Amino acid sequence: METVKYPNIIYVLADDLGYGDIHAFNSDGKILTPSIDKLAAAGIKFTDAHTSAAVCTPTRYGIMTGRYNWRSPLKSGVLTGVSKALIPNSRTTVASLLKGAGYKTAFIGKWHLGWDWALKAGDSVGGEGWSPADYANIDFSRPISNGPETLGFDYSYGHSGSLDMAPYVYVENGMPTTIPDTVTVDTGKYTWWREGPTGNDFKHDDVTPNFFRKSFEYIEEQANSADPFFLYLALPSPHTPILPTEQWLGKSGLNPYADFVMQIDDYMGRLAQVLDEKGIAENTIVIFTSDNGCSPQADFEILGAKNHDPSAIYRGHKADIYEGGHRVPFIVRWPDKIRPGSVSNKTICTTDLMATCADLIGVPLKDNEGEDSFSLMPLLMGTDSVEYKREATVHHSINGSFAIRKANWKLVFCPGSGGWSDPKPDSEGIRDLPKFQLFDLDVDPEEKNNLYADHPEKVKALKQLMVSYIENGRSTDGKNQKNDLEAFGSKNWKQLLVFEE
């Protein structure tokens, strides 16, 4: 009997794309996204999907490892373009898991998980990556170490940090594609990026098109292979610099951010076309989502004046503990298995990719793998949703603030947003607010009414659940694991979560 080939898997991660920016998720939205809408109509859309954090690096950590980022050494914020590798080579990733099952694996795009640049001298670049002087000690003539190729990727091509973070150099299979001989900087309202060394093959406005072209080439190369493939396409857009190509400038009638979203949508249509042309669409899983909510760099005032809200009805935006920070569009298309037009209202998390892939290939996860990952297969297959085992979901903001969500209840362990929207951390009047927030999202999805004082038993139960997730080192069943360093950094997390009123 012929062995059935596992499905190909393509995971497309947009950067700073809001829940309300995709028309299929926000019928009141003013950005036209016909290709992504078509993707949703052909598969399943998840209306209550969340990233594990409200900013970039921690979400990417969770996607790759199936583990909450705050269990890693990164307790808040993001890495830079010169940061050392965050994920140790000893940790199983989605790529290494699938590679072990015979998949060809590829990463194309924005890494932002750290890797170790070769250095001219010493063992440090000499800075955090925010200053032009921080790149002087990098030796671009030698390969990097501890990059995607050491975490299970057969092929890798991308850049180290966000597209506004130097150095602006492509690295292919661990080797910089060129030695940067120029320094670039842009200070435009939408188009800005930080000063830094730039390769002669690195054109900021061509990076997104380039990553799609590379992805199409990879798909075409793998289409006739006897082995399935996993492609992780991590877009640097519509994050700053907001650089729609000339073809797309002005197309939205809103602003350059909306133009950029439309450009991404068009490329997603081309990706679907490539799959159709190569005859592999039926047995290819395409997942499309975002790494967090929309950034204020999109210019909410201009978009709002034209009746578009990137967060739709939800409060907040990128960096926030509020829903707009981490509720994202999430679509899965698999024509061979998923019923077209499916919709799931289950609360899911981007950490769930690890367990989903393990379930798909029939490989049980070990106790130290995917500690916060739950298989989406029951939801994708349309079976009884009770089989999806996620009990609750932990949210995390840019400053390290936490929330826990179980069913309709969400307990926030801080006053205000924990991020960039008002009330901001340490802003005037923040200390006069209740130290905790409790929302019933079924009746108050806008998170307007803090019910913390009205439901002490609910608060107590959610606090205890959060404590167990921390102490156990996992939110899945299995042997307890250790978090890397203290889960809340220097804070006494038990006092913060349980006793401090």
Span 74-110, pLDDT tens digits: 999 999 999 999 999 999 999 999 999 999 999 999 9
Residue 1 located in a structural domain: no
Question: Does 280 lie in the same domain as 181?
Answer: yes
Q: Which of 387, 419, 440 is the last residue of a domain?
A: 387
Q: For residues 429 and 424, what is the distance between their CA atoms, to the nearest angstrom?
A: 10
In which band, very low, low, confident or very high, does the pLDDT at 500 lie, cut at 50, 70 and 90?
low
Query: What's the average model confidence in pLDDT over 403-409?
Result: 98
Phi and psi of 21, rounded to 5°?
-85, -15
**Is 199 in a helix, a strand, or coil?**
coil
**Is 259 in a helix, a strand, or coil?**
helix
Q: Which residue has the tokens 């859309």?
A: 45
Peptide bond before 415: cis, by omega within 30 degrees of 0? no
What CATH number has the domain bearing residue 153? 3.40.720.10
For position 2, what pLDDT does the model report?
46
Q: For residues 26 and 29, what is the distance between their CA atoms, to the nearest angstrom?
A: 5
The neighbouring-strand residues paired with 349 are: 50
Give the torsion through C-alpha atoms of 8, 109, 68, 153, to 10 deg. Answer: 50
Q: For residues 420 and 416, what is the distance between their CA atoms, to the nearest angstrom?
A: 10
Structure tokens at 219: 């798909």
Q: Is the pLDDT of residue 488 over 70?
A: no
> Exposed/middle/buried for 390, CB within 10 Å: 0-12, 13-18, 19+?
buried
Summarize pLDDT for 99-142 with one digit per residue, the tens: 999 999 999 999 999 999 999 999 888 889 999 889 999 999 99
Question: Does 133 lie in the same domain as 109?
Answer: yes
Phi and psi of 309, rounded to 5°?
-120, 115
- The answer to whether the beta carbons of residues 432 and 363 sit under 8 Å apart is no
Find, among 298, 272, 239, the residue nearest to 110 by Cα.
239
Q: Is the pLDDT of residue 496 over 80?
A: no
Q: Which of 387, 414, 431 is the last residue of a domain?
A: 387
Q: For residues 163 and 129, what is the distance between their CA atoms, to the nearest angstrom?
A: 13
Contacts of 224 (CB under 8 A, 6+ apart): none
The neighbouring-strand residues paired with 8 are: 284
Residue 61 located in a structural domain: yes
Question: Does 489 lie in the same domain as 358?
Answer: no
- The answer to whether the beta carbons of residues 469 and 475 sit under 8 Å apart is yes
Question: Does 206 lie in the same domain as 296?
Answer: yes
Tally of domains in the chain: 2
What CATH number has the domain bearing residue 493? 3.30.1120.10
Q: For residues 120 and 99, what is the distance between their CA atoms, to the nearest angstrom?
A: 34
For position 424, what pLDDT does the model report?
95
Structural domain of 104: 8-387
Give 72's DSSP letter. Answer: S
Q: Look at strands 342-349 and 104-110 and give their pairing.
A: unpaired
